[in-house]
Amino acid sequence: MSSQAPEPPAQLPPRGRFLVLEGIDGCGKTTQLRALAAWLPSSGLLPPGAELIITREPGGTALGLALRQLLLDPPAAAAPSPTAELLLYAADRAQHVGRRIGPALAAGHWVLSDRYTGSTAAYQGYGRGLDLGLIAQLEQLATSGLEPDLTLWLDLPLADSLRRRGHRPADRIVAAGESFLARVAAGFAALAEQRRWWRIDATAPEAAVSLACQQALAQLGAGPGELLGDG
Ligand code: TYD
């Protein structure tokens, strides 16, 4: 009787990379996200077979899109309280990580997200004044501990953000007023330090900001042991 050799363990694809853009409104995240989405696939950074998934918070899933509407543009009578707002952002994130980001990374794909946990700490924590310890616990619950491999922080002074927005209509969060936004901006600066985000000077011309983003991402070629963390 010949004994059968045990099956070799199935080869799992290496986990993909998780990249996040953070910053106050008007910092150029959306423009830079588009530029990165155009550049990354031909950059040579993505391993063969890996796709680039572009997503955002709130609203990276079907449930998240419904939550985004409730968070940013609710009927006046349905505007969430600060605590309800925090929980809705956490719900959006739990769905996003569980149903979209996590599975994509597990399949070896790369994910580039417009905002992540830093935004909740900045807006609901530093901005609204909700308890940062509680927010950290919720963050753990919503993300199961998933941290970005790299967070790019587009650093723009609040005055520039207000000037850039001009008379464009503000969403419900941005409409909370200038002192709120000043606390959010200071929060982002504090978080960038605590979480070792990669700072990009967002006052620079668009092409220079794009190049700085590309240079930061090129670091990811270094391999998992040498990645910049977020936490
Ligand atoms: P965003 O989509 O970046 O706004 P824009 O329409 O300018 O592209 O973000 C939506 C708003 O949600 C923004 O005002 C910041 C806010 N926000 C929070 O307050 N907390 C969070 O956790 C997240 C992800 C966003």
Q: How many Cβ atoms sit within 10 Å of the Cβ of residue 132?
A: 15
Whole-number Å distance, alpha carbon 182 to ligand 1 midpoint, is: 15
Chain mean pLDDT for the chain: 90
Q: Which of 5-14, 31-40, 182-191 has the lowest mean pLDDT?
A: 5-14
**Token representation of residue 165:** 């927005």
Q: 115 in ligand 1 pocket by Cβ < 6 Å?
A: yes
DSSP β-bridge partners for residue 52: 110
Domain extent listing, the chain: 18-222
Cβ burial, residue 147 (10 Å; 0-12/13-18/19+): middle
Q: 96 in ligand 1 pocket by Cβ < 6 Å?
A: no
What is residue 226's predicted lDDT score, i.e. its pLDDT? 39
Confidence of residue 84 (pLDDT cuts 50, 70, 90): very high
Q: 58 in ligand 1 pocket by Cβ < 6 Å?
A: yes
What is residue 12's predicted lDDT score, i.e. its pLDDT? 66
CATH level 3 topology of 18-222: Rossmann fold (3.40.50)
pLDDT digits (tens, 9 = 90+) for 155-184: 999 999 988 887 777 788 778 888 999 999
Residue nearest to atom 4 of ligand 1 (CA): 25
Q: Which atom of ligand 1 is nearest to the CA of 89?
A: 22
Q: For residue 84, which of 70, 95, 98 has the smallest C-alpha distance? A: 70
Q: 173 in ligand 1 pocket by Cβ < 6 Å?
A: yes
Report the alpha-carbon distance of residue 132 to residue 122 in Å, rounded: 9
**Phi, psi for 11 (deg, rounded to 5):** -80, 110
Ligand 1 pocket: which of 95, 171, 180, 188 to mutate (most atoms <8 Å of CB)?
Answer: 171
pLDDT digits (tens, 9 = 90+) for 101-116: 999 999 999 999 999 9
DSSP β-bridge partners for residue 7: none
* pTM confidence score: 0.90
Whole-number Å distance, alpha carbon 59 to ligand 1 midpoint, is: 10
Instruction: Outline where DSSP puts E strands in 44-139.
Output: 52-56, 110-114
Which of the given ranges, 11-15, 78-82, 124-128, has the highest pLDDT on average? 124-128
Angle, nearest 10°, between helix axes 178-194 and 158-165?
Answer: 130
Q: For residue 176, which of 131, 129, 134, 135 has the smallest C-alpha distance? A: 129
DSSP β-bridge partners for residue 152: 21, 198
Whole-number Å distance, alpha carbon 57 to ligand 1 midpoint, is: 7
* Average pLDDT, integer, range 141-164: 95
Ligand 1 pocket: which of 67, 72, 178 to mutate (most atoms <8 Å of CB)?
Answer: 72
